[in-house]
Amino acid sequence: METQNITLSLPRDLLLKVKLLAVRRQTSVSGLLAGELERLVLEDEAYTRAYQRSELLMKEGFDLGTYGELNVTREELHER
């Protein structure tokens, strides 16, 4: 995979904590950030797919066992 460098500015105290975290996870700051950014992108893509599926289901509707026919009137449904 081809990579490209970017410049990132972080507060010094945060950068120190990130470096310690990277060491504990046996990776680099770059590797740590790349992994987290990839996770965020995958989560966003999964959300988008789920949202699109739910929109399609809502447009198609659900089969409630009536086969598209309603053999009862509204008044009959709401009789007391």
What integer pLDDT is reported at residue 71 of this predicted model?
85
DSSP 67: T
Within 8 A by CB and 6+ apart from 10, the residues are: 18
Two structure tokens written together for 39: 């996770």
Are the C-beta atoms of 26 and 20 separated by less than 8 Å? no
Domain boundaries, the chain: 14-49
Low-confidence stretches of the chain (pLDDT < 50) are none
Two structure tokens written together for 73: 């009137």
Taking the C-alpha atoms of 46, 51, 52 and 54 in order, what is their torsion angle to the nearest 10 degrees? 130
- Give 45-67 pLDDT, tens digit per residue: 999 999 999 999 999 888 788 87
User: Whole-number mean pLDDT of the chain?
Assistant: 93
